Structure 1
Amino acid sequence: MVRCEPLVAIVAGEASGDQHGAYLIREVNKLAPNVRFCGIAGPNMRAAGVTEVLFDSSQLAVMGLVEVIAHFKTIYSALEKMRRFLQERRPDLLILVDYPEFNLRLAKTAKGLGIKVLYYISPQVWAWRQYRIHKISRLVDMMAVILPFEVSFYEKAGVPVRFVGHPLQHGVKSKLSRDEALIKFGFNPGCKSLGLLPGSRRSEIKRLLPILLDTAEKIYLQEPEIQYLLPVAPMLTEADIVPFLVGRKLPLKVISGCSYDVMAACDVMIAASGTVTLEAALMEVPLVVVYKLKFLSYWVGRLLVKVNHIALCNIIANEGIAPELIQQDASPERITQEALSLLRDKKQAQRVRQKFQVIKDKLGASAEMTIAELTIAMLAQ
């Protein structure tokens, strides 16, 4: 138990990191309520207990080379603000949550100041740009990983590592059954439902939501009884979504604040690649995974990526359980075909659910220690 009042700087750069960071903060506060957290945070981390927010992480939620360049001024401003904070306040520990391009630069500053660095949610160096492992070994005092296979990767490179379990394995659930969730949202439980999840970044909404809505309209022409749910990601608002719905004639509801209840209501989902694909697996909801980047970002990514799948659920399972439609394949026609296949074929959907159950079992493997215990251990050193 930590008896002083340690100051922890924590940084998350997008919606999933904000969610995982909030989990860490809540768990630490259960064991050591006097620990203070400051840094870059989103709404979940603020609610969990970040007392001083230096920058809103929603402003940093961009993906792709071209997109990062376009937002360079904002990102650099946040980096400089955090560097000044480290220099002036000298926190007892810096916790970095995913977001590697930004966070590894900040780790270098912390290392120069003698501040311990705990990296939570490993950069996907096992998937692409594996040479970054050497930088991590120089800059990070402890890597806390959430996927079991990541441990051996870091051990081989001589990086101190602990498997702390996946933060979603206990939190991804709804108290409602499918029928109860549909009734809650004013839909008919006797009809099938399709979830549209275009992502948590505004750039993803702009790029993917029109495609998902075109897909929904094509499906609606063939299956007019299907109902559509569109949950709003935590770092977005309905105002980010509504302009795209003008002129659309669909039985669709935009829903804020209860994403797992939305998933519980869905027979099938169409989702942008990201943490949501793992959440779908844990909720055992069949899904089609889609993604598009600007051409240059995609071209560079293809040269660097070393894995066979992009969806987390498929990476963990090491097989293509959920169909992945990327770039030109992410067309309304192709997405419609895959989604209707899952909606119409009960046996196929059931096979997907069974394989998702295996993923749940893998993530539930015994962790060496929790992320909260590891955080407190590092503060006590």
Structure 2
Amino acid sequence: MDSMRPPGQAPRVAMVAGETSGDLLASLLLGGLRQRWSTVASMGIGGPRMAAQGFDAWWDSERLAVHGYSLELVRRLWGIVQIRKQLRARLLQERPDVFIGVDAPDFNLGLEQGLRAAGIKTVHFVCPSIWAWRPERIEKIRAAADHVLCLFPFEPALLAEHGIAATYVGHPLAGVIPFEPDRAAARTRLGLNHDAPVLAVLPGSRRAEVAYIARPFFQAARLLAQERPGLQMVVPAVPALRARIEELARECAVADSLRIVAGQSHDVLAACDVTLIASGTATLEAALFQRPMVIGYHMHPLSWRLMQRKKLQPWVGLPNILCRDFVVPELLQDAATPRALADAVLQWLDDVQAGNARLQQLQQRFGELHYSLRRDTPALAADAVAQLLG
């Protein structure tokens, strides 16, 4: 039986958000829901940004953080399965008005399917990248979600072809990041020299990502420190991973050349001239800051082979996918050598110094992308949830 809510009464909303990016997206949606219903109750799995919106976290979102098909996933799978089993039982008992799965499709789609079959309305926030890889997920989405909230404008039409209701709500990062970032102010906040070039080094926000990516990134940083002595290099570290990142920097003999700060990734991207960055949501953030970048990625070899088989497009980085072109270099797996990464960064640093047409064209394309993604995401998402609840 569907849960019944008297007209005008604030809904009870269950949510699951995995990892840092999901926590941000979910917190913005919660803000929109609280604008509509000031007393909305929310609970489930989430992170600190959601908690700041009054979210009752039964488990922390970090418990769901895994990396591809690596051995880490095998080790942690049992615990994740048990969390989902316990969460499903509790939700079926408490019967919220709506369940919203934020990204984390491997965890959320199966959970949503079971809840929907039991009469609980379900929303999936962030369309899985069926246009990039794993197109077989479309059937899971159709079975799992009453409605999908999409970050990119082409996604609702794609879902509609398969009978799935969806709403384009824009990408919330486009509303958070200013159209004209203040580089000087960011450098002041970070204590950086205003007259020397800055490289932002972002080796990922997950423990397993850092394990695979930080070493070649830091080895490239060592080469850059030798070849460009005045280059300032900053690493915004997730607080929980800062100690490990500092350890890897020492192992790579680059600790004296890197400035490692706790969080502050947006300040670091605003302050930098170029970024060396792991593939993921952070690359879209860098594009919205209109910063040239070198995208690098490395993972367990088994994960790499499996992903290559399911890949539908030639691009991996979000800026390239959205621009439908290799507007920034991608150095992946065996190609992500320290020398290759350093050389690609040096090319961008030279372009920045010269202010040439390549850089100007990139900034123009990133500016157009920013405008296309900026919408009132919290309000649009909350409106879609309200319509689903009737």
Q: Flag whether TM exceeds 0.5 (same fold).
A: yes
CA contact (8 A) 1:2 1:32 kept: no
How much has 1:367 moved relative to structure 2?
8.2
Any idea what the Cα deviations from partners look like across 1:308-342, whole Å, max 9, x if unmatched? 21111111111111111110011111101110000
Tell me the residue number matched to 1:146.
151
Q: Aligned equivalents of 1:353 and 1:37: distance in 2?
A: 39
Change (3 A) 1:217 1:174: farther
Tell me the residue number matched to 1:253.
259
2:14 to 5, 9, 13: 9
Tell me the residue number matched to 1:279.
285
How much has 1:55 moved relative to structure 2?
1.3
Alignment of 1:86 onto 2:91:
yes
1:244 to 244, 248, 260: 248
Which stretch of structure 1 is more off in the superposition, 129-138 or 99-108?
Answer: 129-138
SS of 1:71's equivalent? helix
Which stretch of structure 1 is more off in the superposition, 158-167 or 178-187?
Answer: 178-187
Any idea what the Cα deviations from partners look like across 1:226-268, whole Å, max 9, x if unmatched? 001111237x342232222224343322122422111111000
Alignment of 1:341 onto 2:347:
yes
Tell me the residue number matched to 1:124.
129
SS of 1:129's equivalent? coil
Tell me the residue number matched to 2:38.
33
Aligned AA for 1:372?
Answer: A
Tell me the residue number matched to 2:307.
301
Q: Aligned equivalents of 2:301 and 2:129: distance in 1?
A: 21
CA contact (8 A) 1:65 1:297 kept: yes
SS of 2:296's equivalent? strand
SS of 1:205's equivalent? helix
2:235 to 212, 230, 234: 230
Q: Aligned equivalents of 1:254 and 1:176: distance in 2?
A: 21
Tell me the residue number matched to 2:164.
159
Alignment of 1:350 onto 2:330:
no
Q: Aligned equivalents of 1:145 and 1:271: distance in 2?
A: 25
1:65 to 59, 66, 69: 69
How much has 1:369 moved relative to structure 2?
6.9
Aligned AA for 2:206?
Answer: R
Q: Aligned equivalents of 1:77 and 1:46: distance in 2?
A: 23
Q: Aligned equivalents of 2:106 and 2:22: distance in 1?
A: 14
Instruction: Name the TM-score, length of structure 2 as normaliser.
Output: 0.92
Alignment of 1:186 onto 2:191:
yes
Unaligned 5+ residue runs, structure 2?
Answer: 1-5
Tell me the residue number matched to 1:211.
216
2:57 to 53, 56, 63: 53
Change (3 A) 1:26 1:275: same
Alignment of 1:378 onto 2:384:
no
Which stretch of structure 1 is more off in the superposition, 164-173 or 251-260?
Answer: 251-260
Alignment of 1:364 onto 2:379:
no
SS of 1:239's equivalent? helix
CA RMSD in angstroms, aligned pairs only: 2.0
Tell me the residue number matched to 2:118.
113
Q: Aligned equivalents of 1:367 and 1:254: distance in 2?
A: 32
Q: Aligned equivalents of 1:369 and 1:194: distance in 2?
A: 36
Change (3 A) 1:2 1:285: farther
How much has 1:82 moved relative to structure 2?
1.3
Aligned AA for 1:241?
Answer: I
Aligned residues, how many? 378
Tell me the residue number matched to 2:273.
267
CA contact (8 A) 1:217 1:250 kept: no
CA contact (8 A) 2:31 2:378 kept: no
Alignment of 1:75 onto 2:80:
yes
Which stretch of structure 1 is more off in the superposition, 344-353 or 117-126?
Answer: 344-353
Alignment of 1:330 onto 2:336:
yes
Instruction: Name the TM-score, length of structure 1 as normaliser.
Output: 0.94
Any idea what the Cα deviations from partners look like across 1:27-76, whole Å, max 9, x if unmatched? 211221111110110122112221x2121111211121124223202211
Aligned AA for 1:183?
Answer: T
SS of 1:48's equivalent? coil
SS of 1:65's equivalent? coil
Tell me the residue number matched to 2:3.
none
CA contact (8 A) 2:147 2:166 kept: yes
Q: Aligned equivalents of 1:200 and 1:2: distance in 2?
A: 42
SS of 1:199's equivalent? coil
How much has 1:365 moved relative to structure 2?
6.9
SS of 2:52's equivalent? helix
Change (3 A) 1:176 1:365: closer
CA contact (8 A) 1:164 1:371 kept: yes
Q: Aligned equivalents of 1:211 and 1:250: distance in 2?
A: 17
Q: Aligned equivalents of 2:254 and 2:262: distance in 1?
A: 20
Any idea what the Cα deviations from partners look like across 1:342-364, whole Å, max 9, x if unmatched? 00123133332122112112213
Q: Aligned equivalents of 1:315 and 1:339: distance in 2?
A: 20
